[in-house]
């Protein structure tokens, strides 16, 4: 009930997120038929699950369409909202502040939680921003570092732009081996992302020497958590009096069978973002494509085909 594709939390936030964001997918979620069709899994089927996946709920076949709709709504929300490039850019900008403060020993998470517990999202961002500026004043963070969210707090649309996008899978022949870049970076500690940002900055500097790239103007974003994997499983039983066991949801539903590949192709993307100033200067010099290709070449040399 608490950790599976149709748990109470997910069904609630899918509906709420559609109401508040305008994304339509959660509007079709119907918790009632799902909960009404739930039953206790047979012990034999529950015990047959892998050792690390012993959490399971069961539903009767009559709710299959409602369950599929709920699972797909969550995926569509992730693809078009939670992990959409603009939202990921904003998250990367905030994460850069957090990573910089952690590396400067200027942030403790318990302090952050206590100080921002009763603040709005805007208030929490302002709290982080004040910490960031204080760390620059005390030389904990390099004074030349760009503050990514300062412009946002002043209502400027300083959202970082995409330089490179890489998926774990690709059907384009020349991009097939780029999965090694994705895998290599995903295996790293997020606090090591600055290394690739520094190397990207050096590449951009070679492409257009007048850029003078500053720390914080190149950001890396990568979803390291596997949102397509959930600990809880859904076991499906027929509606017949004998309640025949049909199998685990992801295996018996042709609609959901390819969902993991969908995540790889369209949602779980690695992106390198650059400050709007860099994008505008590269565009003015007609060097956007050259910068894109040079950055890809650097990444391919860092993470070659195995």
- When pLDDT is cut at 50, 70 and 90, the band that residue 283 belongs to is very high
The pLDDT value recorded for residue 154 is 86
Residue 189 pLDDT more than 90? no
- Report the pLDDT value the prediction gives residue 221, as an integer from 0 to 100: 94
- pTM for the structure as a whole: 0.87
Compute the distance between CA of residue 151 and CA of residue 83 in angstroms, rounded to an integer: 22
Per-residue pLDDT, 1: 61
| pLDDT tens readout for residues 2-46 | 678 888 888 999 999 999 999 999 998 999 999 999 999 998 988
| pLDDT > 80? residue 53 | no
Residue 228 is predicted with a pLDDT of 64
CA–CA dist 217, 278 (Å, integer):
8
Please provide residue 12's backbone torsions phi and psi, each rounded to the nearest 5 degrees.
-70, -50
* DSSP code per residue over 83-101: TSHHHHHHHHHHHHHHHHH
Residue 156 confidence (pLDDT): 83
Q: Which of 21, 2, 18, 1 is nearest to 69 (CA)?
A: 18
Query: What's residue 261's pLDDT?
Result: 80
Tell me the three state secondary structure of residue 261: helix
The pLDDT of residue 238 is 95
* Residue 140: per-residue pLDDT: 94
Reported as a single tens digit per residue, the pLDDT across 159-181 is: 999 999 998 888 788 888 899 99
pLDDT grade for 67, boundaries at 50, 70 and 90: very high
pLDDT of residue 229: 64
Burial 60-86 (b: 16+ CB within 10 A, else e): bbebbebbbbbbbbbbbbbbbbbbebe
Q: Closest Cα to residue 76, out of 32, 29, 132?
A: 29
Residue 152's pLDDT is what?
87
Beta bridge partners of 59: 38, 236
CB-based burial label for 33 (10 Å; 0-12, 13-18, 19+): middle
Instruction: Compute the mean pLDDT over every residue in the chain, rounded to the nearest whole number.
Output: 90
Q: Are 10 and 37 in contact (CB under 8 A)?
A: no
pLDDT of residue 305: 84
């Amino acid at each position: 009930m608490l950790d599976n594709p149709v748990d109470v939390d997910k069904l609630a936030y899918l509906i709420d997120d559609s109401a508040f964001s305008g994304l339509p997918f959660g509007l079709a979620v119907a918790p009632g038929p799902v909960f009404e069709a739930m039953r206790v899994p047979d012990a034999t089927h529950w015990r047959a699950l892998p050792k690390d996946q012993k959490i399971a709920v069961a539903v009767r076949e009559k709710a299959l369409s409602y369950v599929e709709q709920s699972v797909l709504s969550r995926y569509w929300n992730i693809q078009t909202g939670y992990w959409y490039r603009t939202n990921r850019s904003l998250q990367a900008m905030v994460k850069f502040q957090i990573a910089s403060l952690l590396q400067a020993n200027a942030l403790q998470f318990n302090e952050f939680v206590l100080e921002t517990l009763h603040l709005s999202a805007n208030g929490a961002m302002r709290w982080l921003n004040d910490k960031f500026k204080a760390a620059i004043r005390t030389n904990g963070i390099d004074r030349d570092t760009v503050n990514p969210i300062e412009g946002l707090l002043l209502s400027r649309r300083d959202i970082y732009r995409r330089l490179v996008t890489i998926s774990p899978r690709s059907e384009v022949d020349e991009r097939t081996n780029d999965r090694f870049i994705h895998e290599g970076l995903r295996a790293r500690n997020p606090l090591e992302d600055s290394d690739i940002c520094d190397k990207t900055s050096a590449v951009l500097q070679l492409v257009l020497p007048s850029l003078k790239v500053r720390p914080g103007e190149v950001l890396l974003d990568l979803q390291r958590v596997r949102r397509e994997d959930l600990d809880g499983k859904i076991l499906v039983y027929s509606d017949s009096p004998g309640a025949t066991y049909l199998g685990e949801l992801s295996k018996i539903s042709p609609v959901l069978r390819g969902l993991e590949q969908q995540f790889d192709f369209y949602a779980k993307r690695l992106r390198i973002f650059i400050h709007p100033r860099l994008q505008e200067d590269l565009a003015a010099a007609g060097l956007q494509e050259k910068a894109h290709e040079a950055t890809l070449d650097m990444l391919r040399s860092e993470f070659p085909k195995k």
